[in-house]
Each structure stands twice: as structure tokens, then as C-alpha cells.
Chain A
Amino acid sequence: MLLKGSARKTKVVDDINTDYIISGRYKFKIQDPYELAKHVMEDLDPEFYSKIKKGDFIVAGRNFGCGSSREQAPMAIKYAGISAVIAKSFARIFYRNCFNLGLPLIECDTDNINDGDELELDLDAGKLKNKTKDFEVAVNPFPQTMQTLLNDGGLVEHFKKHGGFKL
């Protein structure tokens, strides 16, 4: 799978928590994921949603998605049109939630990626290309469990296909 888009990176890069991704103010009020997506990362950058073009990547530093277990966080990212999140590391509940929703997460060094850089992510070849800066980094393959979930399109589709866990 080849994903293309621009990097969307906020000024704060480390420890971006799920309250930042989608505030508790909205997660209780709004059930429509497309409406929820309009508030993605709002407390870090009120313009964040309006800058996203379909297929873009969120790029961050360490411990992205720390904090609560709210699935509205990956949901808001996915329905905002983001194709993958690229960060130095992820918090574990968020990590599970993303693969369950079929949203790929890439762990790699992100210091050399700036907001607006044009990126190309080749999931099959395990390569992330920064076209703006003209460099390429190798991306570790996903563990088999995660790959199966992504191939099936998330845990809902996996359950519909197999009637239970077949990982």
C-alpha cells in the first residue's frame, strides 16, 4: 500500500495526549465521527482540521496518544482524512485502538520531518520517503497481529469475517 500526503506537525510534538487529540468537551456531546473530526487537535492548533487534505499524515514526537482510552481520539484522526500517524513512539492503548480501527501507526525518527513536507509511505516495502527534503527512512514491518488487523480493515471487519479472533 502506497500512501501519499503532507506532514501535519504541531508545535508541541511530545506527549500529545488524547485530550489534545479530542477534548472531553466534544467526545461526550458528539456521536457523528465526521463532526468529531472537525475538532481534532483543536486545543493545540485551532486551525488544525482546516489544514488537513485527505491522505495527510500526522507527524509527532514521543508518546503520541498518551492518556485516556477514548477511541474517539483515533476516530477523530481517521475521519479527518489522516491516512497514518508517524511518531517516535506511541502510548499503548492508543496503539491498540488505531489498529482496531485500521489506522496504521509508524514508529520512526521524526526530527527531520517538518510541517508541510510531502511524504510517501510505502507500507509493503517498509519505506518512508520525504520528497520535500529528499531522504528516505526504513520503517519496521508491523507485528503479524497488527498486519492481519490492517489487512482485514480493522477489528470490526475481522470479527465479521471470522466470527471471533483469528490472529
Chain B
Amino acid sequence: MSEKILSMHSGKDARAGEIVIADLDFMIGQDGTSGVAIDVFNKMEGKKVFDPSKIAIIIDHSSPSPNEGVSAIHKKIRDFSKTQGINLFDIGCGVCHQIAPETGFVGPGNLVIGADSHTCTYGAINVFSTGIGSTDLAAGMISGKLWFKLPETIKFEVSGKWPKGVYSKDLILKIIGDIGADGATYMAAEFDGPAIEALSVDARFTISNMAIEMGAKAGLMKADKKTIDWTKKHSKKVFSPVESDKDAKFAKTVHIDVSGLSPQIAKPHTVDNVSPIEAVEGLEIQQGFIGTCTNGRLEDLEIAASVLKGKKISRNCRLIVAPASKNIFLEAMKNGIVQTIMDAGGVFVTPGCGPCVGTHNGVPSDGEKVLSTANRNFKGRMGNNKAEIYLGSPATVAASVIEGKITDPRKYI
């Protein structure tokens, strides 16, 4: 799939290992990276962006601003967006990786870059999308192009029937635990098989989102009927889906059966430090967090609400929820999800990255343990290098905050 998309966009019949300069369909930046990108744009002597309709900047990482340093960056982004006429999503719109597909900017067969490592998320709807830095974004904004080295592909063929209480988050944690944090470095990952087809598009985003946590450049899935329906609902653009050839060569194929899978937990301080929940059950936590570009979608909030319905959060524990977008937040209000979670004792913060990046909205105290639905548990990630972060599914977080300790969600489902 990678070879097809990058060939289509570079006018070459390119193969893994080759370097091409390719035309970009869309690019995004966020408030942690766009300030630098704008500085570089000016240093490169950029005057006008190549096409303002193909660029979006989303203020999501530290939003609304918690201090004057961030405010200065936000102002720089707002001024630049206005002058250049590019799409700006200001505070409260949501996380960039929900906004880009939800607004219909990106779709099957597209080539997309983002100055954020989790740009690989849109692979779930058949987009070759990859994270790059601020200088690459500046070069993209000026020229509409970027250089790519065509990656080899590692394929994950996923079969079996999903057990109750086990979700796409558990699968991707299991995969990363098995293959390691650099198991797919420089490669594209492809996820396929009946167990992937059985998932909703929301659940698929969770898997592609975390492809970077094993070093992958992209996390691609084919476009099936669910993808096409989802894309049509969100976009008026015409897309050209791609599929791997029957005889496509993969660097490696990994077979996984989800039938016997338990809920999984990534322990501090690396994402590949993964155990089945049985190994960590009972560990006391002081904060739960549901949200982010990994697990802040409507389905995630629905699952959490179904676990929390009629229950109360432990008095030794807090629950912070950040919907991935304003639309999701509004939908969750209409469906009673917000009411259910708040009745249980959960707290909602502005749609966006929430406390994931460690700048605001719930920085843990020294020695505290956080169970989060995010994609990273690096030391210091949530703003305190003396706290510990565990990762799990929304169901696992919801069940755990009820008991104030890591809890198997299967008994609440």
C-alpha cells in the first residue's frame, strides 16, 4: 500500500528503499510544533503557503493556554493562520488527529504529513500519513512536497473472535509488547484480517494511532465498506483507495489470534513494557484519564459510561475525561454519556490532548500512579517525572477508578 500511495504521488514506480519527492494532499500542525514551523517558514524566506486549503493548524496540546509562554505561541499561530488564510482550529475544537479525519480533510489513498508523531492515526482509513518535524512542515507549507524513503512493510494478520471486555487498545498494546518499541522502525505496518474487519472505524483509529510506538512510519489498513461509509459521512472529497496486491512482499508477517487475549496494561516507563492485566491487578492508582488521539472517541466514552453507570468513583481516585473533539463532546452530552460519567464522579476538561502531554489539566503528584488511555507512559510525560503512568483501554480505566486500583474490566461488562 505504501509503495502504491507514494508512487501515485511522486509520478514514479517506486519501491521500498528508494527516496522520492512526493506531492502532499494535506498537512497539519499543532501548537507544540507549529510555532517552530512558522519561524522556519520565515527563515526559509517563505512568502505564501502553496495552498492554504491543504493546511490545518490545531491548537490542542496546551489549550486553552496555561501560561504566557504558550499564549505567545498560540498568538503566533493565530496571526500566521489569518495572514495565510489556512484552516485554524482554535481552543476546544479537539485533538488534531480527530479533527483531520472528522472534518473530511483526509481520506483513502491520500498522502498526508503532520508535525505530530501520531499522524499515523489516519492509516486506519487507508491514508499514508506520517509524523514529521517542524522544519519538514515548513518545507511542505512552502512547496506542497516532501521527500520520503519508501518503507518496507510489516504485516499483522489478525484473526479470532473478540472476547468481551477486550478491545483494539488491548490488541495494539499486546503487539507493541511483543515486537518492542523499535520493532518496526523505518517500516510501514499493515493491519488486516477478520478481527480488524470486525472493528468499527473508531476502534481502528486506536490501532493505527499507536503504530509509531513500535517505530513505524505508518499504520495502514485497507478501505472496506465501513471505511468508505465513514469517509462519505465526513467528506465530500473523492478518494482513491489502495489495497496491497495479492502477491505483495512483506518484510515480515505476524499472525495474531485475539480469541484468548486479556485486557493489556503497559507499565512505566516504556510502551513496550506490557503485561496482561492479571499481572498488575490490584495496584492502587490515584488518577484515571480517558481521552487523547488514541482513545477519546465517542465509542470510547460510551464504553466508559457503560462501566460507570450507577457506580461511584473511589474516594482515593480521580477521573479526568477529555473528549477528542467538540463534536464528540456534544454527541456524548446528547446521549447522556457525559451525565453518567459526571454522576459517577468524573471531571471533563476541554476537548484536546488534556493532561497527556504534561502541560496542564491534571499533572500527577510525586509518587502517584496514573492509569491512562493515552499512547505514551514515558517518565515525566504527564508533567512530573516522579509519577508513574500505566496505559490501558477505556473500559480498564473506568473499572479501575471505581475500585481505586487496577481492575479487570471484564467483571463490569
The stretch that binds A, out of B141-149, B158-166, B224-232, B340-348, is B141-149
Q: How far is the CB of A167 from chain B (nearest CB, A)?
A: 6
Interface membership of A27, Cβ < 8 A: yes
- Cross-interface CB contact of B35 among A20, A31, A66, cutoff 8 Å: A31
Cα distance A96–B35 in the bound complex, in angstroms:
19
A62 lies within 8 A of B182 (CB) = yes
Q: Which of B324-356 contact A (CB under 8 A)?
A: none
Cα distance A83–B182 in the bound complex, in angstroms:
25
Cα distance A135–B367 in the bound complex, in angstroms:
44
Interface membership of B276, Cβ < 8 A: no
Cβ contacts under 8 Å, A165 to chain B = 21, 139, 143, 145-147
What are the interface flags for B123-156 relative to A under an 8 Å C-beta threshold, 1 for contact and 0 otherwise?
Answer: 0000000011111101100110111010000000
**Chain A contact patch, size range:** 35 or more
B70 lies within 8 A of A28 (CB) = yes
Q: Which of A92, A154, A165 has the most chain B CB atoms closer than 10 A to its own CB?
A: A92
Q: How far is the CB of B111 from chain A (nearest CB, A)?
A: 15
What are the interface flags for B280-298 relative to A under an 8 Å C-beta threshold, 1 for contact and 0 otherwise?
Answer: 0000000000000000000
A25 lies within 8 A of B142 (CB) = no
B61 lies within 8 A of A28 (CB) = yes
Q: How far is the CB of B65 from chain A (nearest CB, A)?
A: 9
Q: How far is the CB of B87 from chain A (nearest CB, A)?
A: 20
For A90, the closest partner residue in chain B by CB is B185
Interface membership of B19, Cβ < 8 A: yes
Interface membership of A97, Cβ < 8 A: yes
- Cross-interface CB contact of B33 among A25, A29, A70, A92, cutoff 8 Å: A70
A19 lies within 8 A of B381 (CB) = yes
Cβ contacts under 8 Å, B181 to chain A = 15, 63, 66
Q: How many positions in chain B have a CB within 8 Å of any CB in the partner chain?
A: 55
For A27, the closest partner residue in chain B by CB is B32
Cβ contacts under 8 Å, B217 to chain A = 92
Cα distance A39–B66 in the bound complex, in angstroms:
20
The stretch that binds A, out of B255-263, B306-314, B372-380, is B372-380
For B19, the closest partner residue in chain A by CB is A145
Cβ contacts under 8 Å, B114 to chain A = 69
Q: Which residues of B contact A (CB under 8 A)?
A: 19, 21, 31-33, 35-36, 40, 43-45, 61-62, 67, 69-70, 72-73, 114-117, 119, 131-136, 138-139, 142-143, 145-147, 149, 181-182, 185-186, 212, 215, 217, 270, 357-359, 376, 378-381, 383, 385
Q: Which residues of A contact B (CB under 8 A)?
A: 15, 17, 19-20, 23-25, 27-31, 43, 62-63, 66-72, 74-75, 89, 91-93, 96-97, 100-101, 143, 145, 154-156, 159-160, 164-165, 167
Return the 3 tightest CB-CB contacts between A and B, nearest first.
A97-B133, A63-B182, A29-B69
Given A28-B70, A155-B44, A165-B143: 6 more A-B contacts, CB < 8 Å: A20-B379, A69-B33, A69-B131, A72-B36, A92-B215, A100-B139
**What are 12 sample pairs from A and B whose C-beta atoms fall under 8 A apart?**
A24-B32, A24-B358, A24-B383, A28-B73, A29-B69, A63-B181, A70-B133, A71-B115, A71-B134, A92-B215, A156-B43, A159-B139
